[in-house]
Amino acid sequence: MRLKTGGLIDRDTTLRFTFDGRRYDAHPGDTVASALLAAGTKLMGRSFKYHRPRGPLTHDSAEPNALITTHSGARAVPNTRATVQEVFAGLETRSQNAWPSLARDAMAVNDFAAPFLGAGFYYKTFMWPKAAWEKLYEPIIRRAAGLGALSGQPDPWRQEKAFAHCDLLVIGGGPAGLMAALAGAEAGADVILCEEADRPGGRLLAERETVDGRPGTEWVAAMEARLRAAGVRIMTRTTVTGAYDGGTYGALERVSHHLPDPHPDLPRDCFWRIAARRAVLAAGALERPVAFPVNDRPGIMLAGSLRAYANRWAVAAGERVAVFANNDDAHRTALDLMEAGVEIAAVIDPREGVAAQGDYPLIRGEVTNSTGRLGLTGVEIRTASGTRKLACDALGVSGGWNPTIHLTCHTGARPEWHAPLAAFLPRDGAVPGLQVAGAAAGRFDTHAALESGRDAAVACLRGWDARPCTVAIPEARRDAGAIAPLWAVEAPRDARHRAWLDFQNDVTVKDIHQAATENFRSVEHMKRYTTQGMATDQGKSSNVAALAILADATGRGIPETGTTTFRPPFVPVPISAMGAGAQGAGFAPARRTTSDPAMRDRGAPMIETGLWYRPGWFPKAGEDWLAACTREAAMVRESVGVADVSTLGKIDIQGPDAAALLDLVYANGFSTLKPGRVRYGLMLREDGLVMDDGTTARLGPEHFVMTTTTAAAGPVMRHLEFVAQCLRPDWRVALVSTTEAWAQFSVAGPRARELVQAVVAEPVTAETFPFMGCGPVTVRGVPGRLFRISFSGEHAYEIAVPSRYGAALWDELVARAEALGGGPYGMEALNVLRIEKGFVTHSEITGRVSAFDIGMDRMISAKKDCIGKAASRRPALRTDREEMVGLRALDATTKITAGAHLFRQGDAPTRANDQGYVTSPCFSPALGRYIALGFLLNGRARHGERVLLIDHLRGHRCEAEICDPVQFDPEGGRARD
């Protein structure tokens, strides 16, 4: 069935591939579908429910029928559209959803049970008997469900994700998209053009049209060269899959699907996040079929696709072809096929007054039936004079064109019905910053598409410092043709055949009427009741016809019936591409500080904290973890210690309303904080419970730097962005996470000032850097920041430099600390120091504690409002609560374990008598015994009482005294000296 001339294939090269074990020949440029059709193979798949034989309906990514599995073993990729998969030498493909073979599928017996398997049958059938669901129904459904099958082995394909930015994103490389890209480039914009196919051109590649006096394909090639010379980035094999807030678009690039032996470093897919200042949607339109009895036989295709296979791939889908359509455009299929030497049996058109556009038979009527088993052999036509039969082995069907408006609905907008075109068009301003052009905007003729593409780009660039547009519109076809709506053919009275709408899910016209009869009148309810539009093609060829039939069945108009909700992705996207890199160790990315290699060289075991790795302790010869931790904690109390605290969240906040934002998100006030000072802050959630704590430094009148706990850096950043964007979008404030930009080190201990002064050029005194002071400093010639804050209770500083200098500063600080009798300390010692001082972390701020619980209720300012303030005043958060207390083991040798529960002495250790629990225990070298922080019912009123600590999990128990959480230096003089 390969035509002798024409097409955009390389006839000089022959490629061999297999389909269901049989070898086929193809040429570079072929898809699996075009190559199989060229070999006379029309049967390529089976439908989901009834396992009816199906051939390709389309030639593009909207294909519902021709789904195949490519490759084998662990590399098998199911549900690949044969109309999109390009052929390469050695490609292995096979059909799916059929057993034992595609031609003889045993599950086709389902078709005989069709009267019992109509719309909603599963809702009515599997309700009884109740016990049969788990033992009978579910196992059968699971075995029968699905289309293709995964290998069950780890996915060996490499996937990638990437990010891009541009001034103008053009979605679609047809005539409108090419003109939009050219207009943008000549205006000086940075332009990205995304095209789903392997080359730009859109429908001009599938038509016998001329543009500017030359064949459309030649004009496309010249335009492509011109765009590349102008700096336009043309991304082929790339489908824009979704439109999101802020000018962000998702796009799937099929990187190596077409390569026989891709480089090991080349991914199979790449999922792009593209941030565009403006965008032009020029995605064209999708042809829709007409529903008539038995309209699903292999060989029945869309009329435009018949034309595309002939013009682009030089393939005739049949030797004797008929066309059934309600519009003028489909007549061009007959003309193109005739010019290619294909016999046209007839063009069947039900409209009054239609004349043939060429030398082919024209029949005024409707197709009411088709014949053939695994392939079309003929059709029956109802005319004014009666029924006649017509022999043909291919039928092109066209019910008109649906503009590809899906992306315009992804942010919630609904399209508008346009009766003259019998189609939905996008609503103006549906997606901010997005203009629609070409057939996607209802401009179906080529000249109008070219013009609208240019005008859309000009509209996008309006208001920019852009050069005037001088792009001229080339001469092209101006007639879009006429159409008369026809959604379904009324079946003959004696007909028992079904008219199909959703070919993949086997939804019929009768199913839509059944849904309406059972009062599923909402288009969304009908969709779910019948599964219409819920297959992998998302109803691209069936949705509009289905809702039109629903409108007729319910006595409403199409605008009143409305459409279902179009959601991303526009085409199926592999989950592995969206989450590329999140496999194996990449599932939880490891984040390491700049000092990580040096700490590992010292033998420090690394502990995962959030997504970061931090040192647990720095062992010396003969030390276990407890000995090392005890030594390091004592070292900080007696001399000086250095800890890498770069993992703390750091958020830069600037703007005239920065202080107001901090007042809103923090329980205590920050607008009164003076430049050069730091303040501890408590952040509440909207429900009044504690979200996080940390310090914020004011570096200037409108410049703050917030620190968060390591684990809460991401959630706090999201919280701030929500407040700035949603609650107070009128405030002038900018936020940026700078956690990775700064390496930050804590220097703590009696000799901390001496060590800091050795590396900082500016004087470090009690006057220049008082307690809770901050300011810029020069660290070994590098601009840095110094904060006098303490998480250990000792005289301490945090010194920050740009990350690229972090490793060098760590080495020098540690070397100088060791010369002073100190050294590095890890997380375990840091935990000991903060427990001795009663400082909280997320071991205490668990998401279920209030400011009252941790003794910080007075921090909630009475002078201002804040998020969570009103909720925090609820009586339930302030009375009869488990309050934070300190715990001190009575026996110096007895261990306290985390998670132990607290009971009154003499009470049975049962749930009913539970008084609280331990959050953070440690051995305190300063106090010479185990101590802990925990929560105890009404604990602050019970200082001095003795309780029993029981750890049922470890089988451990001990006695402890309740005390204040601050068990070392309660006056805080050591930190303030």
The pLDDT tens digits for 118-133 are: 787 777 777 777 777 7
pLDDT the model gives residue 494: 57
CATH number 2.40.30.110 is the correct assignment for the domain at 880-976: yes
Residue 419 clears pLDDT 90, i.e. is over it: yes
pLDDT the model gives residue 166: 97
- Given the DSSP bridges, would you call strands 742-748 and 796-802 parallel, antiparallel or unpaired? antiparallel
Q: Which pLDDT band, with edges at 50, 70 and 90, does 495 fall under?
A: low
Q: Which residue has the tokens 């943008």?
A: 184
Q: Which pLDDT band, with edges at 50, 70 and 90, does 162 fall under?
A: very high
Kindly state the DSSP code that residue 565 receives in the 8-state scheme: P
CB 249 within 8 A of CB 242: yes
Residue 492 clears pLDDT 80, i.e. is over it: no
Q: What is the pLDDT of residues 539-554, one digit of tens each?
A: 999 999 999 999 999 9
Across residues 926-942, what is the average pLDDT? 96
* Assigned CATH class of 159-285+403-461: alpha beta
Q: Which pLDDT band, with edges at 50, 70 and 90, does 466 fall under?
A: confident
**Prior bond of 267 cis (ω within 30°):** no
Q: Which pLDDT band, with edges at 50, 70 and 90, does 114 fall under?
A: confident
pLDDT the model gives residue 404: 96
Whole-number average pLDDT of the chain: 94
d(CA 105, CA 373): 13
What percentage of the chain has pLDDT greater than the value 90? 87
pLDDT the model gives residue 641: 98
Q: Does an H or E element contain 796, and which?
A: strand 796-802
Q: Which pLDDT band, with edges at 50, 70 and 90, does 584 fall under?
A: confident
Record the tokens describing residue 40, joined without a space: 């006379």
pLDDT the model gives residue 135: 79
End-to-end CA distance of the chain: 92
pLDDT the model gives residue 306: 97
Q: Which pLDDT band, with edges at 50, 70 and 90, does 583 fall under?
A: confident
Across residues 515-531, what is the average pLDDT? 91
pLDDT the model gives residue 121: 76
Listed as own residue / partner, the contacts of 670-679 with beta carbons closer than 8 Å and 24 or more positions apart are 670/696, 670/698, 670/704, 673/698, 674/698, 675/699, 675/700, 675/701, 676/773, 676/774, 676/775, 677/772, 677/773, 677/774, 678/772, 678/773, 678/774, 678/787, 678/788, 678/789, 679/772
Please give the angle made by the CA atoms of 36, 38 and 43, to the nearest 5 degrees: 40
pLDDT the model gives residue 18: 97
Architecture of the domain made up of 15-106: Roll (3.10)
CB 849 within 8 A of CB 939: no
Across residues 662-666, what is the average pLDDT? 98
Q: What is the pLDDT of residues 194-235, one digit of tens each?
A: 999 999 999 999 999 999 999 999 999 999 999 999 999 999
Q: What is the pLDDT of residues 742-781, one digit of tens each?
A: 999 999 999 999 999 999 999 999 999 999 999 999 999 9
Residue 586 clears pLDDT 90, i.e. is over it: no
Record the tokens describing residue 298, joined without a space: 């292999």
Kindly state the DSSP code that residue 339 receives in the 8-state scheme: H
CATH T-level assignment (fold) for domain 625-833: Gyrase A; domain 2 (3.30.1360)
CB 17 within 8 A of CB 93: yes
In what order do the strands lie in the sheet containing 386-391?
Answer: 365-371, 378-383, 386-391
Name the β-bridge partners of 961: 888, 946
Across residues 693-720, what is the average pLDDT? 96
Distances 261 to 270, 578, 595 between C-alpha atoms, Å: 17, 23, 41
pLDDT the model gives residue 493: 62
pLDDT the model gives residue 587: 82
Across residues 305-325, what is the average pLDDT? 97
pLDDT the model gives residue 283: 96
Across residues 471-482, what is the average pLDDT? 91
pLDDT the model gives residue 812: 98
Task: Name the residue ranges covered by the structural domains of the chain.
Answer: 15-106, 159-285+403-461, 625-833, 880-976
pLDDT the model gives residue 128: 73
pLDDT the model gives residue 491: 78
Residue 144 clears pLDDT 80, i.e. is over it: no
